[in-house]
Amino acid sequence: MATDNNTVIGLQQHIRDLEVEIVDAKKMVNRLLVRTGQPPIYSEADTGSEVGNISALRSDQFYGKALSGAIRAYLQMRKHVGPANVNEIYDSLCKGGFTFETENEENRKRNLRISLTKNTSIFHRLPSGTFGLPEWYESVKPQNGEEDKKSKKGRGRPKKHTTGKKAGKDAKPEAKKEDSKDDAETSTVEEDKTPTMVKAVRMALESFTAEFTKQDVVDWIARKYPALKAQQKKPSIAAMMGNLKKELNIETVSEGNGKEPHKYRVKK
């Protein structure tokens, strides 16, 4: 009986490997047709470029990824299946080789749940308690929940008025408070226009038409969205680039050597 089970498991893995090869072959056919000026013959669903293929989940699918990046990658793979609960996401991350920071399963799930509920600009919680991606639902707009709450707390507070000599002394401090309030409201507006780091990395990669380095990506984000503090988050940006490499069809032009950095380009 054990031999039969091993045979079934082996065949299932073989099937998953074949499915991956088929998807890769379809993508190659589409690219070749586009290069010759012809329309692609396989849809996004056929090539898995939009929703992925859960049955082809590799044992190292999420290895080396950040937690939020791994969760998003998994949800993208199951768009055609629909949202998932915490246990489903946890089991799939484990199967995909994600490395948790703790061995305790309850703590792992707690960290997973915190990431899902905290990153409201990346993940959307449905009334059923399951989680999907905001772009799946037309009426849902990504929100930075905690920032929204903080910005609302400072609004609508009554101003204190004083009379006599004391009023003259307090005139400048009151003006400063008003200025700081205006700055805070302006800052809130600017933050609303600032994308998530993942989206900023995607925008940077899509903007390059020639060869570029990881530092070029960091500089682009720092210049366009200083609020993201890209220079301080180089490791995270490098990891996000790795996650998007296959999706955006990015190839390595030359390997870095010593002081020379790796160079990349987007294959058209």
More confident residue, 125 or 153: 125
3-class secondary-structure state, position 252: strand
Q: Give me the residue label for tokens 């920071």.
A: 101
Please indicate, yes or no, whether residues 95 and 8 belong to a single structural domain of this protein: yes
Instruction: Give mean pLDDT, residues 210-222.
Output: 90
What CATH number is associated with residue 229? Answer: 1.10.10.10
Domain boundary residue, one of 91, 121, 136: 136
Q: Which pTM does this prediction carry?
A: 0.39
Share of the chain above pLDDT 70, in %: 69
Please indicate, yes or no, whether residues 207 and 110 belong to a single structural domain of this protein: no
Task: Report the pLDDT value the prediction gives residue 187, as an integer from 0 to 100.
Answer: 40
Residue 250 placed within a domain: yes
Tokens read off for 247 = 């999706």
Nearest to 265 by CA among 248, 253, 247: 253
Residue 30 placed within a domain: yes
Residue 151 placed within a domain: no
Is the Cα torsion angle 171, 177, 180, 186 positive or negative in sign? negative
Helix H or strand E encompassing 266 = strand 263-266
Q: At what angle do helices 67-77 and 105-118 cross, to 10 degrees?
A: 80
Read off the amino acid at residue 89: I
Residue 105 placed within a domain: yes
Please indicate, yes or no, whether residues 37 and 124 belong to a single structural domain of this protein: yes
Residue 121's domain comprises 2-136
Please indicate, yes or no, whether residues 131 and 204 belong to a single structural domain of this protein: no
3-class secondary-structure state, position 120: coil
Q: What is the spatial distance between Cα 119 and Cα 135, in angstroms, rounded to a whole number?
A: 14
Average pLDDT, the chain: 77
Residues 85-99: tens digit of each pLDDT: 999 999 999 999 999
Please indicate, yes or no, whether residues 208 and 104 belong to a single structural domain of this protein: no
Integer angstrom CA distances of residue 90 from 83, 105, 152, 170, 245: 13, 9, 34, 57, 24
Domain boundary residue, one of 136, 151, 169: 136
Contacts 24+ apart (CB under 8 A), 17-21: 17/56, 19/53, 19/55, 19/56, 20/53, 20/56, 20/58
Residue 190 placed within a domain: no
Task: Report the pLDDT value the prediction gives residue 267, as an integer from 0 to 100.
Answer: 80
Grade residue 262 by pLDDT with cuts at 50, 70 and 90.
Answer: confident
Residue 118 has phi, psi (to 5 degrees) of: -80, -40
Instruction: Give mean pLDDT, residues 169-190.
Output: 45
Share of the chain above pLDDT 90, in %: 27
Residues 7-35: tens digit of each pLDDT: 766 676 677 667 767 877 888 888 898 88
Q: What is the spatial distance between Cα 75 and Cα 80, in angstroms, rounded to a whole number?
A: 10
Instruction: Give mean pLDDT, residues 165-175.
Output: 48
DSSP 56-70: G--TTTTTT--HHHH
Total domain count, the chain: 2
Residue 260 placed within a domain: yes
Please indicate, yes or no, whether residues 128 and 208 belong to a single structural domain of this protein: no
Residue 192 placed within a domain: no
Residues 33-67: tens digit of each pLDDT: 888 988 888 765 555 544 456 666 788 999 999 99
